[in-house]
Amino acid sequence: MAQYTRVSGSVGLITLQSPPVNALSAAVRQGIVDLMQRALSEPEVKSVVICGQNGIFCGGADIKEFGGQMSGPPLIPMIHAIEAASKPVVAAIEGIALGGGLELALGCHYRIAHSKARVGLPEVTLGLLPGAGGSQRLPRLIGVPAALDLITTGRHVTAAEALKFGLVDQITDHNTVNVAVKFAQRVADQPLDARRISTYPCLCPSDVAVLFEEVMQRVRRTARGAIAPIACVQAVRAAATLPYNQGMERERELMATLFTSGQARALQYFFFAQRAVGRWSMPSGARWDTSKPRPVHKAAVIGLGTMGRGITVALAQAGFSVVAVETQEKQLMEAKQAISGMLERGAKRRGVAPALDKINYGRNIQSVADVDLVIEAVFEDMALKKKVFQQLSAVCKPSTFLCSNTSGLDIDQLACQTRNPELVVGMHFFAPAHVMKLLEVVYGPKSSPLAVATAMQLGKKIGKVSVAVGNCRGFVGNRMLKPYLEQALFLLEEGATPEFVDQVLEEFGFAMGVFRMSDLSGLDVGWKVRMADGLAMPDPTTGQPTRLRQGRRYSPLGDLLCEQGRFGQKTGRGWYQYDKPGSQVAKPDPWLHSFLDEYRARHALVAHRIDHQEVLERCLYSMINEGFRILEDGIAAGPEDIDVIYVFGYSWPRHHGGPMFYAATVGLNKVLERLEHYYQAHPDVPSLQPCHLLRKLVASGSPPIQKWREVIKKVRSQL
């Protein structure tokens, strides 16, 4: 919807009204078309201002409409009509002008922005391109290099940057609509020919062909199989090389391909999934909208290893006072230096002062007595963590929230060490903690909704996408990783190489295949966990068959490498070889290939040809199967939670939507059928046995992912 008022006698003011972001729904587009006609037909009206209600210009096309039948006036002719109008039209940009919102503003003859406004063309993040003329007008207005940057990254720019680009004509700190109205009055009689961007020539640098080639190569390298960034470059190339009308035709063709693509559907699903995880719920019925967080002013971090340092930086950068504790003097000094460096580099990048004074360092746990919330980040050892929680419970004020950054240990056991177990939750950060967006907030059986709400809010304040999950070994992310890693090792036993498995996973879109990732994070990390679990013991000590543990197939390959001191990048050898310890360039290692041959011979394993499909299906479907088990167990409330965790925490390619969305795209019946096939071939691998919920969903006709929660509820109520 849109509203029309006449202001100052001669200005027609059109206000977009569609909360929360004034998206260009069919009703809004209809409103604009009707009200533009009215403004143009009223002789007293000499110029027009378009603005949005509640201090927000426009968040772009209404993404919710994309899934269904589009109705109402189309955007492109609407914007053309505005540009062709005989009276000046001024966009008054407050808050945001994004996507179709900015394209609307580009169709206006002038743009006035509030100094705090942000503008951009983020369509690429939704699997689209700026398909309402944005790919053709923006390069004509601000030049090809800047337009390529904005359109291929989808980044939002500040009003100041927009002014520098020439994207807006003026910025103001005052009431933008009032300033725009005055401006509209001033330009009422000005000729409009020079204000219609579609008539501008597209100014290109002399080496434009080289520029496009370079950008295309960069985009292909970083897109990890996403098609929209490539289409964005092609659309801007059309602006640079073709007359406007032909460029628009090319934009339409490219958009038509993207609009109906699976990638666009996945990315749009993911847009809403990211927002849905904020509306958390617990099996007890506690919810985000009925649980109030308590404010946190001062926090503490215990243990300043890699994780503790990153968490300290994230808290300080967000303005929290932090007490950072490390008991060993030498480690404390090293940590202080490292944290200061991280803060200084971050501040330099963002053009602000480093938040060094937000942190007080100490060696004594007593120094956290008055904080509101503590995040324990000591070594991943249950006995050690229990001791720390006992100390914290004795030292801190009774209302202090005690959180653990464990990546998978039992939160309940930690809660049991404290006086107030209801104030204990997991806050599982991902390394590097000041960079990675994901935070798993883990509630145990005793955690209160207050503690969950507080940790979720703290996560939001430090810029994380926080997902509330239940307490189980590995929580959501690491629990699903286990069958994935396991399958990768089994594939090596059966004849694959690390390079081949990684190549398949990287072609699928992971930033790194499983073995390169394992070399990066260090093979010894998992080895220590397996030792603690009594799994990684050499046979003579336990009398266990090498390839069987607790009645299940087990691959000791990772343990055998660790026994040889091959811990990955840091030792210069792992699943790959590196020029020197610490080097990041992974090279296939002939030693490893011989080692695998000998291993197979020793265990009478006959290598068979493993193809692309088998790698993908076994690695991904076993992980997805665990995802269904997690939903069945109530550890995650819905598939969106799992998908957000995987995209933000495990580099799952966003254009595949996340593992659960991917399963829906592949078809649940196909996933089930392939798991059945592999389980039959490997009956000693329980993670390949299709879980009950997956069977139930297939039996219910494989409903769309948005309806899974209903089936999950039924399955859980029958447990």
Active-site residues, by number, are 103, 123
272 binding ligand L6W4SP4V? (CB under 6 A): yes
User: How far, in Å, CA of 481 to CA of 448, rounded?
Assistant: 28
The residue sitting closest to ligand L6W4SP4V, measured at its beta carbon, is: 99
CA distances from 563 to 376, 523, 524 (A): 30, 10, 9
| Residue 260 C-alpha from the chain's centroid | 22
Give least dist CB 247 to ligand L6W4SP4V, A: 15
In this complex, which beta carbon is closest to ligand L6W4SP4V, that of residue 128 or of residue 230?
128
Q: Which of 83, 123, 169, 493 binds ligand L6W4SP4V (CB under 6 A)?
A: 123
CA distances from 641 to 468, 477, 637, 648 (A): 8, 10, 7, 11
Is the bond preceding residue 19 a cis peptide, omega within 30 degrees?
no
Helix (H, G, I), strand (E, B) or coil at 35: helix
In this complex, which beta carbon is closest to ligand L6W4SP4V, that of residue 36 or of residue 61?
61
254 binding ligand L6W4SP4V? (CB under 6 A): no
Q: Which of 186, 275, 603, 714 binds ligand L6W4SP4V (CB under 6 A)?
A: 275
20 binding ligand L6W4SP4V? (CB under 6 A): yes
260 binding ligand L6W4SP4V? (CB under 6 A): yes
Give least dist CB 228 to ligand L6W4SP4V, A: 11
DSSP 223-279: HTT-SHHHHHHHHHHHHHHS-HHHHHHHHHHHHHHHHTSHHHHHHHHHHHHHHHTTS
Geometric angle at alpha carbon 518, from 687 and 505, rounded to 5°? 65
Interacting stretch for ligand L6W4SP4V, rule CB under 6 A, among 255-263, 359-367, 488-496, 650-658? 255-263
368-377 as b/e: b if 16+ CB within 10 A: beebbbbbbb
In this complex, which beta carbon is closest to ligand L6W4SP4V, that of residue 272 or of residue 379?
272
Crossing angle of helices 244-259 and 262-276, in 10° steps, is 70
139 binding ligand L6W4SP4V? (CB under 6 A): no
Give least dist CB 313 to ligand L6W4SP4V, A: 23
Count CB neighbours of 5 within 10 A: 11
In this complex, which beta carbon is closest to ligand L6W4SP4V, that of residue 284 or of residue 290?
290
574 binding ligand L6W4SP4V? (CB under 6 A): no
Interacting stretch for ligand L6W4SP4V, rule CB under 6 A, among 93-101, 322-330, 638-646, 701-709? 93-101
The two three-digit tokens of residue 108, written as one number: 């206006």
Interacting stretch for ligand L6W4SP4V, rule CB under 6 A, among 235-243, 253-261, 381-389, 524-532? 253-261
Give least dist CB 219 to ligand L6W4SP4V, A: 18
Number of H helices, E strands in the chain: 30, 19
53-79 as b/e: b if 16+ CB within 10 A: beebbbbbbbbebbeeeeebbebbebb
Q: Which of 83, 103, 376, 486 binds ligand L6W4SP4V (CB under 6 A)?
A: 103
Is the bond preceding residue 683 a cis peptide, omega within 30 degrees?
no
Crossing angle of helices 228-241 and 144-153, in 10° steps, is 160
Interacting stretch for ligand L6W4SP4V, rule CB under 6 A, among 79-87, 97-105, 182-190, 472-480? 97-105
Q: Which of 99, 649, 657, 659 binds ligand L6W4SP4V (CB under 6 A)?
A: 99
In this complex, which beta carbon is closest to ligand L6W4SP4V, that of residue 98 or of residue 501?
98
Give least dist CB 30 to ligand L6W4SP4V, A: 15
Instruction: Count the residues in the chain.
Output: 719
239 binding ligand L6W4SP4V? (CB under 6 A): no
Give least dist CB 298 to ligand L6W4SP4V, A: 26
Q: Are the CB atoms for 95 and 117 separated by under 8 Å?
A: yes
Burial of 287 (0-12, 13-18, 19+ CB in 10 A): middle
Count CB neighbours of 189 within 10 A: 9
Give least dist CB 438 to ligand L6W4SP4V, A: 17
Q: What are the start-end ranges of the H helices in 277-381?
A: 306-317, 329-350
Q: With CB under 6 A, what is the number of residues at the site for ligand L6W4SP4V?
A: 29
Q: Which of 112, 236, 255, 424 binds ligand L6W4SP4V (CB under 6 A)?
A: 255
Residues 24-83 close enough to bind ligand L6W4SP4V by CB under 6 A: 59-64, 75
Q: Which residues bind ligand L6W4SP4V (CB under 6 A)?
A: 20-21, 23, 59-64, 75, 96, 98-100, 103, 122-123, 126, 128, 130-132, 134, 255-256, 259-260, 272, 275
